[in-house]
Amino acid sequence: MQVKIGESTRVQPNILAVDVGGSKVAAALVTADGVVHHRVQAPTSQRGPVEGIDQIAALLQKILEIKDPSTNEIAAIGLGVPAVLEEGTDRVIWAPNLAGWRNVDLRGPLQARFGWPVYLEYDGHAATLAEWWLGAGKNLHSFVNVIIGTGIGGGMVLDGRLVRGVNRLAGAAGWFAFTTDPAVAEERDRSVGAWEAKAAGPGIVSRARALLASAPDSTLARVDEEALTAEQVFAAAQQGDELARSVIEETAEWIGLGLANIVSLVNPQAIVLGGGVGVACAPLLPRILDTMKQWAQPWSARSCCVAISALGADAGLLGAAYGARLRLGL
């Protein structure tokens, strides 16, 4: 990409981007205008940080081996990681979805091996940066990105800047609490938040399983309960399965309730729904919006739209790259 600087021009460098998740790790070369090249991925190693870092390095090496030699220079490595990160050092304090990742220096080994500066972002913030750069948050000065998949995370751009929070965890909305009922509290895994336990993928599957005994005619009854996925519940609902429809409609209400809390607290221009569940909820937007408007501060609700992310699987990579660019001042 060519940009003018005074009377001269220079070529903007690329970023090597990595999106680390609990189930897969993806890496790619991302250009200055947001084009993703040479994407590679692998199932996430869950054998501890040493093997995990080796896996990331191996994926980056693959990109370097297949990269077109005419491609622009590389300025840095950017990573999106589902972890609590130390301010200043980017040290991984805790990554609950990565086995054994506590107090891990991820930046140091990669920097030593490849020679470029390495920058880490909490994965929810990385995806939010991607939406701000190229997605549904482009040209907005205040929006909230809510990523609903296996869990619920996200981030916020408020008054023209990404809000990271004191522990770099701002936007972890999956921890919203809706009740103090002890019975409800005992139902959920204490490693996840109450909203996440209801609206994210595992919660959808759990509610479907609980109804299967009383609905033997459901198409989901033919699926191995242990192998049941939220994607299958959504698909069955689209095909008219009554059990699946009831679960998905209840999911829409849970999502709308959480969005209402966000709207009332933050007063954003927009909320962007991403992640596998979030994108699958596109047909449910009317019900989600009805619930949101019912419970949110009414003036704020009238000013806020809800959009579905269009960045797909590249959101994490794009955000990791854009986060590195911002840290470099590019």
SS3 content of the chain, % helix, strand, coil (to 5): 45, 25, 30
14, β-bridge pairs: 74
pTM, rounded to two decimals: 0.87
Contact by Cβ (8 Å): 300, 263: yes
- What is the rounded distance in angstroms from the CA atom of residue 296 to the CA atom of residue 287? 14
- Look at residue 4 in the predicted model and tell me its pLDDT: 39
Contact by Cβ (8 Å): 22, 44: yes
- Look at residue 6 in the predicted model and tell me its pLDDT: 43
Contact by Cβ (8 Å): 29, 13: no
DSSP E strands: which ranges in the chain? Answer: 2-5, 8-11, 14-20, 24-30, 36-43, 74-81, 84-85, 92-94, 102-104, 118-122, 143-148, 152-158, 161-163, 270-274, 305-308
pLDDT at position 137 over 50: yes
pLDDT single digits (tens) 260-272: 999 999 999 999 9
Contact by Cβ (8 Å): 57, 109: yes
pLDDT single digits (tens) 70-95: 556 899 999 999 999 998 899 999 99
pLDDT single digits (tens) 197-228: 889 998 899 899 989 888 888 999 888 878 89
Q: Name the band, by pLDDT with cuts 50, 70 and 90, for residue 66.
A: confident
pLDDT single digits (tens) 139-187: 999 999 999 988 888 999 999 999 998 888 898 888 888 766 665 555 5
Nearest to 275 by CA among 78, 131, 143: 131
- Look at residue 280 in the predicted model and tell me its pLDDT: 93
Contact by Cβ (8 Å): 194, 188: yes
Average pLDDT, whole number, for the chain? Answer: 89
